[in-house]
Amino acid sequence: MIDSRHEAALALLAQGRRDEGVQMLRQAARAGHVPSMTALGRELLSGQIVRADTELGILLILDAAKRGGGEACAIAANLCAWGYSGRPDWPRALDYLQRAAELGFQPARAQLRLLSGYQAGIDWKKLRRAVDAAAWWKLPPRVTLCEEPLIQAAPGLIPPRLCEALIELARPRLAPAKLEGGDVAYDVRHHSSVAFLLADTDLVVQAVHDRVCALVGVPAVRSEILQLLHYKPGDFFAPHHDFLDPGYDGHLDGLSQQGQRNHTILVYLNHEGLEGGETDFPELGLRHRGKTGDALLWRNVDLAGQPDRRTLHAGLPPIRGEKWVLSVWVRDRVPSGYDDPRILTALASPAEQAKRTN
């Protein structure tokens, strides 16, 4: 009976009857139906169908995972790696991912294979142990391309197999890229993009996100939502700055909520068959395009924390082939809402929970 109610709720949502569908989903979730708890939790995290409620969404996902939901375990893995417990907890994240694989959740199995580097095998515990987290945080040496402002390259930051996985994950979800205010302006930015929201990501995306942010010594929670950019021949991003301008009213809310965009990091996800498509700094006379997995990073502000206008840059159009780039903007502080005590307790390990509740 409750399974049919869940299916009916999903059908209503697919028909655009959101209020009815969400109400039915809530009823099934309150009855402890794990798929409904997972679906509702995911929607509360994304805010695409219902009004976003991160705290409630996390608690629903964790409860569904505890009850044996494979998809919920995979989402819980992302939450632990992201750092909603107050700090990123990769051992616990991998435990959740292993459990999701054991429960038969196929995306979790694919993620374990990608992270471990083993494309075959069904011993999920063995694959989980093969993920070398310590090696993942050993970063490649950097090459300085410009001293002032500081612009550096980090060759080979991301393994090609993960670059390919990111492209395939993003490909069906591409949409016209928008400006900071949410507008489409083809004279400024003519290409496609995908934003990896928390509810849409997986542990492979999170691993890449963490390694990229480690280049500037901060956790992923200090950055904006990770974005993947796609350029066809002729597509471009006109010269622009990435910093938030305190003299522009449209940037004031962003500055007050999470601070300045101190750093930009780009990861080039492909290079075979690509001609053109460089990242151009016209004020500096510098153009750069890395190979698959290479990163480019620079500071958007000077040493006093003021916007550095010399960082004007553009995404030049490919002449031949497609260009895929991962873009990460790192802020100068963590956004509010990441220290809710209910989340801290729910995400903690059993030993940590005992300490916090005693």
Query: Domains plus CATH for the chain?
Result: 1-67 (1.25.40), 143-331 (2.60.120.620)
**Across 238-254, average pLDDT:** 87
pTM for the complete prediction? Answer: 0.86
pLDDT tier at 258, thresholds 50, 70, 90: confident
- The CB-based long-range contact list for 137-146 (8 Å cut-off, 24+ gap) reads 137/211, 137/214, 139/211, 139/214, 139/215, 145/286, 145/288, 145/296, 146/281, 146/284, 146/286, 146/298
| Spatial CB neighbours of 159, under 8 Å, sequence gap ≥ 6 | 117, 293
In this prediction, residues 218-242 reach a mean pLDDT of 92
According to the model, what pLDDT value does residue 85 have?
Answer: 67
Length of the chain (residues)? 358
Q: How far apart are CA 211 and CA 193, in angstroms?
A: 21
Residue 214: pLDDT above 80?
yes
The pLDDT-based confidence of 358 (bands split at 50, 70, 90) is very low
Whether the predicted pLDDT of 33 surpasses 90: yes
pLDDT surpassing 50 at residue 310: yes
Mean pLDDT for 284-307 is 96
Neighbours of 204 (CB within 10 A): 21
Which residue from 293, 294, 291, 296 is spatially nearest to 272, judged by alpha carbons? Answer: 291
User: Cα–Cα distance between 24 and 31 in angstroms, integer?
Assistant: 11
Q: What number is the average pLDDT over the span 142-156? A: 97
pLDDT at residue 9, as a whole number: 84
pLDDT at 14: 86
pLDDT of residue 351: 44
pLDDT band at 10 (very low <50, low <70, confident <90, very high): confident
Helix (H, G, I), strand (E, B) or coil at 185: coil
pLDDT score, position 182: 55
Q: What is the mean pLDDT of residues 315-324?
A: 97
Cα–Cα distance, 244 to 255 (Å, whole number): 7
143 or 53, which is more confident? 143
Cβ atoms 188, 234 nearer than 8 A: no
pLDDT at 349 over 50: no
| Confidence at residue 180, expressed as pLDDT on a 0 to 100 scale | 63
The vertex-53 CA angle with 350 and 227, nearest 5°, equals 95
